[in-house]
Amino acid sequence: MAKIADQTKKRREQERQVKQYRYLELLEMRAIDGEDGVYEFSFSSETPVQRWWGTEILGHDPGEPKLERLKTVGSFLFAHGRDPNYGRVPLGPINDAWLDSSARMCRVKVKFDADDNAQLIKSKVDSGSLKGVSFGYKINAYTVIEAGKTNRGFIGPCEIATDWEALEVSLEPVAADPNVGVGRSEEEPDITSIVTDILKNDEGVRSLLQPPVAVALPEPTPVEPASNQNNTRSDQPVGENNNTHTPEEIRAQETQRTLDITEICRNFPELKLDAAEFIRSGATVADVNQEVVQRMAKGPRAPIHTPTVEVGQDEVDKFRSAASDAMSFRAGLQVEAPAAGFTELRGMTMIDLARECYQRTHGKAFRGYDRKELVRSVISSSDFPNILSNVANKSLMTAYQAAPTTYQIWTKRGNLSDYKPALRVQVSEAPLLRKVTKGNAYKYVAMSDSGEQIKLEKYGELFSLTREDIINDDLQALTDIPTKFGAAARLTINYSVYSILTSNPKMANGNQLFSTTHTNIETATKTGPSKDSFTAAFTAMAKQKGLQKKDAVPLNITPAFWIGPVALRFDAMQLVKSAVDVGANNAATNVFQNLLTVVSDAQLDAVDPDAYYFATAPGFIDTIEVAFLNGVDTPYIETQPGFEVDGITYKVRSEFGVKALDYRGLYKNPGK
């Protein structure tokens, strides 16, 4: 039994870091309003799946699914490239992928390209005749749950993958039962039934399961190993009595053989190998390998100088990653951990890359020297646009993260799932408890509420990489414009937030955000940052009351941020950093030391260089919320072959909403 456990563990470890597949029914595929050809659907869940060694569960806690590779270089395919009519050419780009924590699922947003093949598959989805979805993934780490023990509601024995990476998403012609198992669909052989059939009906195997008969044998004579043992099914040395195998060992060997044969047949779909027939006939793994070689030798051969290039999907992913890193490096972007193959590709020009993509897509080299025709070909039907899009996206994201914005320091970050207005309800605080005298009943309390509506808005621009830029190998055109748009995307959010402070909009109650009705604007001590103006702000915010219309009590709100123009920043910092009172002639203690975080932004200088604000930290009282579509705070970048211009058109889109939620956590001093 120990040997069987070791074999099982070894086989399971062999599958780690190797691409696996899951097939399931396409429960829903929603077209995105206003975005032609863009769809959203879920592709993974925590549904337990039976593997040959036991139960596997993909964990969906935050940080467990790794989706960055899927978003940057992942593939959106049909039948994982098995169908000879479509091959490994993607149906379109993967625009986004994210973890839906509440549903414990991973979701993806894809776009169908405009070519005929992609549109045909899209029509099948729209009609409801295509109902299967699958995804490829690999597992980096897992937790073993022993029999009888429970973890996250799952009862052992089972394994929970705690670190796994999605590699590709594919639409499938046959919707398979998710309980069938990883890497199997309804069209593939049922390994368990085949093994059971062999154990019941194969006389040679059945005889091995009979208990050995005690027979007096002479002392064995040593036997030299035979020189040719290519066709043996067992790893046992010659001369060893196979009848010493236990039934468990026989079953393990048969399971291993069926798994190996099934894997070989799956790797060569073009040869149409019948795995079930090989297994039932008792063929060894060596027999199947020999059949593969013979069938490939009989197949058509590629002409000289146009070699057929057949690469697995893993190789396609590796090439995309290496080419993207190489182009990024040449464009001057930082590449911290280059992908394998980066060194060989980093000297490529964009025309060199176009030729390589053409050969990988069409299985032959591009003939001729018309570079314009080459560019036209690879833009419409290869990985070339996706690789350049990855470079542009890296430039965009780098600039977005580096943009000098300050809104994120003090605002609340939110999430919206669609473009409909969402109500942010604020329930009043509970009143002070009333005394209950002897013999009297408890009384119900009435709580009031208020609310503000927040809504997503969409912002975006288009830019192009022309055919001339590609031919001229102008990588700066590919990176400079996305860099500017990346910074502009985040500065747009920054502008929207501070415009609320400076424009003083009306709230749902009909009053302006800063007003005497809200008691959150200074009317007496209108000065620059000083001990007196700070004292007035702290006092007024602490006295703000709850939403109860009767018997409301003070909330003791404490400001956490000073927000103002750059011109007043250093006066404010002196007040909150100095150890002594800056306005006193003696060494009196500075009571405001380290009580506030100073936030300054030049946008406030441009509108009103005298006014400044105080804000409490989000939590007890929320001030201004910045909400993003599905929680994704980075801009999207999409590509398509240019029509109005010869080249590739890029679209940069940012979706967010900004709204002031509660006036009680904000305070304004006009300064003059």
Same domain, 157 and 27: yes
Whether the per-residue pLDDT at 246 is higher than 70: the answer is no
Predicted pLDDT at 15:
52
Asked, for residue 375, whether it belongs to a domain, the answer is yes
Same-domain status, 615 and 504: yes
- Say yes or no: 287 and 334 in one domain: no
For residue 43, how many other CB atoms are within 10 A of its CB? 22
**Residue 494 clears pLDDT 90, i.e. is over it:** yes
Least confident of 13-27, 159-173, 452-466, 579-593: 13-27
Chain centroid to Cα 164, Å, comes to 11
| Least confident among 358-362, 581-585, 617-621 | 581-585
Contact 142, 160 (CB under 8 A): yes
Nearest to 183 by CA among 253, 270, 309, 275: 275
End-to-end CA distance of the chain: 86
Task: Report, as an integer, the average pLDDT of 580-608.
Answer: 87
- pLDDT band for position 312 (cuts 50, 70, 90): very low
**H/E/C letters for each residue in 276-341?**
HHHHHCCCCHHHHHHHHHHHHHHCCCCCCCCCCCCCCHHHHHHHHHHHHHHHHHHCCCCCCCCCCC
d(CA 491, CA 503): 17
For residues 168 and 193, membership in a common domain is answered with no
* Closest to 281 in 3D by CA, of 302, 257, 264: 257
- Give me the phi and psi of 521, to 5 degrees please: -135, 135
Most confident of 45-59, 296-310, 605-619: 605-619
171 vs 434 pLDDT, higher one? 171
Does pTM top 0.75 for this prediction? no
Task: Give the model's confidence band at 356: pLDDT under 50 very low, under 70 low, under 90 confident, else very high.
Answer: confident
pLDDT at 525: 84
Domain boundary among 111, 146, 172: 172
Pairing outcome for strands 94-100 and 422-427? unpaired
| Residue 41 falls inside a structural domain | yes
- The pLDDT-based confidence of 19 (bands split at 50, 70, 90) is low
pLDDT band at 125 (very low <50, low <70, confident <90, very high): confident
C-alpha distance from residue 335 to each of 177, 349, 351, 383 (Å): 42, 18, 22, 20
Residue 131 within any structural domain of the chain: yes
Whether 640 maps to a domain, the answer reads: yes
- State which of 293-297, 353-357, 406-410, 459-463 shows the largest mean pLDDT: 406-410
594 located within any domain = no
603 φ/ψ angles, rounded to the nearest 5 degrees: -65, -30
* 321 and 470 both lie in a single domain: no
Q: Are residues 60 and 20 in the same domain?
A: yes
Q: What is the mean pLDDT of residues 639-656?
A: 80
Task: Give pLDDT, residue 607.
Answer: 94
pLDDT of residue 150: 87
For the chain, percent of residues with pLDDT exceeding 70: 77
Cα–Cα distance list, 134 to 185, 275, 385, 575 (Å) = 10, 22, 24, 60
Q: Which two tokens stand for residue 318?
A: 């590796």
- 294 and 317, same domain (yes or no): no
User: Cα separation of 433 and 553, whole Å?
Assistant: 12
| pLDDT tens digit sequence for 68-95 | 888 888 888 887 766 666 556 688 899 9
For the cut 50, the answer to whether the pLDDT of residue 191 exceeds it is no
Same domain, yes or no: 294 and 329: no
| pLDDT higher at 9 or 464 | 464
Give 154's strand partners. Answer: 151
> ω into residue 307 within 30 of 0, thus cis?
no
Report the pLDDT averaged over residues 349-356.
Answer: 86
Q: Look at residue 35 and tell me whether its pLDDT is greater than 70.
A: yes
Residue 411 is predicted with a pLDDT of 94
Instruction: Name the residue with higher pLDDT: 363 or 414.
Output: 414
74 lies in the same domain as 50: yes
List the domain range (segments joined by +) for residue 289. Answer: 189-207+246-299
Is pLDDT at 393 greater than 80 in this prediction?
yes
Residue (of 669, 671, 668, 672) closest to 513 by Cα position: 668
Same domain as 459, residue 345: no
Residue 322 lies in a domain: yes
pLDDT at residue number 645: 67
In this prediction, residues 213-237 reach a mean pLDDT of 41
The answer to the question of residue 127 being in a domain is yes
Q: Using the predicted structure, report yes or no on whether residue 138 has a pLDDT greater than 50.
A: yes
Asked which of 350-354, 409-413, 593-597, 655-659 is least confident by mean pLDDT, the reply is 350-354
Distant-in-sequence, close-in-space partners of 461: CB < 8 Å, separation ≥ 6 = 485, 651, 652
Residue 397 in domain = no
Same domain, 288 and 318: no
Parallel, antiparallel or unpaired: strands 54-58 and 158-172? parallel
Distance CA(430)–CA(505), nearest Å, equals 29
The pLDDT tens digits of the residues spanning 263-278 come to: 788 778 778 888 878 8
The 3 state secondary structure assigned to 539-562 is HHHHCCECCCCCCCCECCCCCCEE
Domain count, the chain: 4
616 contacts 562 by C-beta, under 8 angstroms: no
How far apart CA 519 and CA 502 sit, in angstroms, is 17
Cα 55 to Cα 7, 110, 132: the distances in Å are 17, 30, 22
One domain, residues 259 and 377: no
Highest mean pLDDT among 42-56, 306-320, 375-389, 592-606: 592-606
